[in-house]
Amino acid sequence: MKSILLLSLPLALADGSQKPIGDAWALPRGLNPALSDKYRPSSSQTFTCLTQPQITLPISLLNDDFCDCPDGSDEPGTSACSHLNSSINPLPGFFCQNKGHVPAYIPFSRVNDGICDYEACCDGSDEWMGVGGIKCPDRCDEIGKEARKAAEERRKLFESGIKSYNKLVEKAVLVKKEVEDKIIALTGEIKRYEGLVEEKKAALKKAEDEEKLKLAKSGAGGDEGKSRHQKLLDYSKGKLSDHQEKLAKLFDETQRLKEGLERTEKILKTFKEEYNPNFNDEGVKRAVNAWEDYLAAKATEEDLLTGEYLSEVTSLMYDAHPWEDYEPEDDDIAQDMYAIEAFLPPFLRTIVHDQLSALRTSLVQYGLLAPRKPKQSTKSTSTVSPHIQKLTDELSSTESTLSLKQSELSGLETDLTKDYGPQSVFRSLKDVCTEAASGEYTYSFCHLGRATQKNRDGGSTHLGDWTGFDRRFDDEIEQEVTVIKFERGLRCWNGPERSAYVYLRCSAEEKILSVAETEKCVYKYVATSPAVCGNVAAEGQEGIIMGEANRQAN
């Protein structure tokens, strides 16, 4: 093997491996003492590669700065095998003992590279060959002291995070209890209102029956006694009221569409103002031109829901009609009958008058003729009696109160089934908002609410509404964390609907640490909140507080 040659060189003997001292065996450089048994030389002064025990090598090849084992395990203390993929090498890196601080691994590629890697290797053992004359004095005492101080601060922070978390949980219990109590109260109220509706329905029915009976007895009501004129009038009234109702619906729908159009126009206006013409995106340019053409054409059109049109449509919908002007003064047939009297000689007039009165009474009794109507003093066109009207109004107001209460109840019941995180802790943070500036925007999010991006002109873009939680890996702290999801935001031009994901770390304070648009219209927030301190405590991850990661090689 080539290393035999190297062995004869002073470099190879420059203490890449520590040699046995007498009978005692010294731990090879860069090796974690936990693995020392695997490297203890056999009686024939050999060792085997860690993942290929069939390969036996003389102990002198250990740490000789030449990669002999295919898995790189013969070079725990040099960078000779650093070209190997970390998945092949069973050793995680060069092991720094860091006495007085915490032991750590650093990647093999950083051994003897002329740089003191104090971050991981405070004892300076990674630079043992003095490359470029570098010597790294042991700074573990000082660095360890600072680290212990920082750890103590983190511990305090963690403790206050846990305290805040416990308070949030206490509050969440109360908030949940309020919802449950409200459900109980509402259920009772709904029962009561259901009873009331039934009572009012029955009272209305009774009153209507009584009124019908009264009308039947007096010969009025129903179509039978009505003249053709009256029937036509009633028919016209009904038709007109139908048309007015339909017109009102059409009007509402038009209003709704108009609002939609206004919103869309606003989006396009913002789009035109904010798009970057330097990107030369043909699709974007075409859209901007089309928008400009649309604006030019629109300027010449008249808006149907403003000015004269609006007042015309409104009066068509709501104007009362003078129906009373068209009501027959009296029944036409009766009028004609009485008019006959005028042509009779005076001596016959009384007899005929009495006979006609008797005939008229019989006709009314048999429902063939409508009774004489008293002259109406009011101009009301209503055919419903005030009593029935009152009962109808009462019923409809009770029904609408009932339906409001029912929908409130169903909202609260759905609320109870929602996931508000461990111990429903996020319930207590409802509508708590945090914001932070990042680049040209100010980003914010409200718990259980909405995430927003504001530009310098005060325009704001909807990044998404709260849809729940997820667990995701946070690369920076190398931990799985709780993520709040905000989805279905404003659609991106030529892209998806905007969405924001808030990666949470434990701290007593609600704070946004950073925001990045990781892909077009997808925003990654990193924030702190006491709401996740419970997770951290449960999972023993005190290290992730405020982003403190466990140090690892690679």
Task: Note the residues at the interface with ligand MAN (CB under 6 A).
Answer: 274, 453, 461, 492-493, 517, 520-521
In angstroms, give the least distance from the CB of 521 to ligand MAN. Answer: 5
In angstroms, give the least distance from the CB of 503 to ligand MAN. Answer: 18
Q: Which is nearer to ligand MAN, 130 or 496 (CB)?
A: 496
In angstroms, give the least distance from the CB of 435 to ligand MAN. Answer: 16
Q: Which is nearer to ligand MAN, 31 or 521 (CB)?
A: 521
SS (H, E, C) 275-334: CCHHHCCHHHHHHHHHHHHHHHHHHCCCCCCCHHHHHHHHHHHHCCCCHHHHCCCCCHHH
Q: In what order do the strands lie in the sheet with 460-474?
A: 433-438, 441-446, 450-454, 460-474, 479-488, 499-506, 522-529, 511-519
Place of tokens 């009297």: 341
Q: In whole angstroms, give the CA distance from residue 130 to residue 116.
A: 10
Q: In whole angstroms, give the CA distance from residue 52 to residue 73.
A: 10
In angstroms, give the least distance from the CB of 446 to ligand MAN. Answer: 18
Residues of 8-43 as b/e, b for ≥16 C-beta within 10 angstroms? eeeebeeebbeeeeeeeeebbbbbbeebeeebeeee
In angstroms, give the least distance from the CB of 267 to ligand MAN. Answer: 11
Q: Which is nearer to ligand MAN, 375 or 456 (CB)?
A: 456
Taken in order 397, 222, 211, 328, the sign of the CA dihedral is positive
Q: Which is nearer to ligand MAN, 79 or 461 (CB)?
A: 461
Q: Which is nearer to ligand MAN, 186 or 500 (CB)?
A: 500
CB 127 within 8 A of CB 112: yes
Q: Which is nearer to ligand MAN, 201 or 454 (CB)?
A: 454
Place of tokens 């015309």: 312
In angstroms, give the least distance from the CB of 280 to ligand MAN. Answer: 15
Q: Which is nearer to ligand MAN, 279 or 343 (CB)?
A: 279
In angstroms, give the least distance from the CB of 523 to ligand MAN. Answer: 7
| Tokens found for residue 166 | 């416990």
